């Protein structure tokens, strides 16, 4: 007869944990001690929980497991970016990146194993989606990348972007739970304002963010403010048109009063004309926003190329002339395929 599967202890709420400890005949304060080890100290091994009696630690090992992730491989870019392959408890691989700049240390984390959205310019879009990540697997990426920032740059992690593999709003509950644990006083105690969740644009889930009154930042990967062009590069737009997204963003802003960031890759001979900038400027009127123009990082699966830098500058200047805050973001980690749109696990 097969042994019963062990319970992933980090899937338990504080209340459920207390009930489990009560059933084991352990005092309630032991559950609080364990919860502190799991989340505030980000401990992944029962043996390291030094203020729990050894007998209790042995009992925990018999009944529970901590499905933590581990660094499988790290690559270091010439610009200081570190790309990690993380091995999950079920042997799947995901990627996460530390992006260091003089102003900040940013962790770019994944929310799914692969992706189901098939955006034509993104390497992850050419992978199958195998499963959603659990909240603790997202949390672990932040912990491990934070340690890399301390070890390599002697600086704490300052920002987190959910811009790695996967569509965060298609893993809604786990993404929000991971952010709750990252921001909680009895978790990593980071500020909501330092966290950005990026979506390819799922209107009903953007509205749900509004209903839930989220405090983190929202970014929309727009890349075209024209339905025909957006359909061509982002099939998700066929069910989530620009009109539907505009309505969802207005609803979200009315509920949260959080401005939105639009991410816009300027592709050569596709969306790089002033007429494209005019369409984008019109879309920007829906809610308070800013635009991040992102350098495109070519991938072997697609024929897109980055627009010429002088064209990008003209595009950005047009938006600024309309009073839109516009930043041009230079890519980091291109030489190790760690830049935006390049994450795709090449081995298993």
Residue 98: both structure tokens together: 């530390």
Q: Which residues pair with 293 in a beta bridge?
A: 264, 328
- Contact in structure between 137 and 169 (CB atoms under 8 Å): no
Give the Å distances, CA to CA, from 208 to 164, 249, 251.
22, 11, 9
Residue 234: both structure tokens together: 């982002």
Q: Which positions are catalytic?
A: 95, 340
**How many of the other CB atoms lie within 10 Å of CB of 205?**
17
């Amino acid at each position: 007869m097969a042994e019963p599967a062990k319970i992933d202890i980090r899937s338990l709420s504080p209340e459920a944990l207390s009930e489990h400890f009560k059933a084991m005949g352990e005092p309630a304060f032991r559950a609080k001690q364990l919860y502190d080890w799991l989340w505030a100290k980000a401990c992944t091994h029962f043996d390291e929980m030094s203020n729990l009696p050894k007998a209790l630690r042995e009992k925990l090992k018999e009944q529970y497991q901590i499905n933590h992730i581990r660094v499988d491989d790290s690559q270091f870019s010439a610009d200081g970016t570190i790309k990690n392959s993380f091995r999950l408890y079920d042997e799947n691989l995901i990627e996460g990146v530390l992006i260091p700049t003089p102003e900040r240390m940013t962790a770019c984390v994944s929310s799914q194993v692969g992706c189901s959205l098939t955006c034509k310019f993104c390497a992850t879009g050419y992978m199958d989606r195998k499963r959603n990540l659990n909240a603790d697997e997202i949390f672990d990426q932040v912990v491990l990348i934070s340690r890399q920032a301390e070890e390599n740059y002697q600086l704490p992690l300052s920002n987190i972007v959910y811009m790695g593999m996967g569509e965060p709003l298609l893993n809604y509950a786990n993404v929000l739970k991971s952010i709750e644990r990252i921001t909680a006083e009895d978790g990593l105690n980071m500020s909501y304002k330092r966290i950005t969740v990026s979506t390819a644009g799922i209107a009903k889930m953007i509205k749900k963010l509004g209903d839930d009154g989220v405090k983190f930042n929202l970014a929309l990967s727009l890349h075209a403010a024209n339905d025909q062009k957006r359909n061509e590069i982002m099939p998700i737009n066929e069910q989530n048109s620009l009109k539907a997204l505009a309505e969802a963003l207005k609803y979200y802003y009315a509920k949260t009063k959080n401005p939105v960031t639009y991410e816009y890759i300027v592709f050569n001979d596709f969306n790089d004309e002033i007429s494209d900038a005019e369409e984008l400027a019109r879309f920007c009127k829906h809610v308070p926003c800013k635009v991040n123009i992102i350098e495109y990082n070519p991938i072997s699966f697609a024929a897109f190329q980055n627009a010429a830098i002088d064209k990008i500058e003209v595009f950005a200047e047009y938006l600024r002339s309309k009073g839109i805050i516009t930043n041009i973001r230079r890519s980091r980690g291109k030489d190790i395929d760690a830049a935006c749109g390049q994450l795709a696990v090449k081995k298993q």
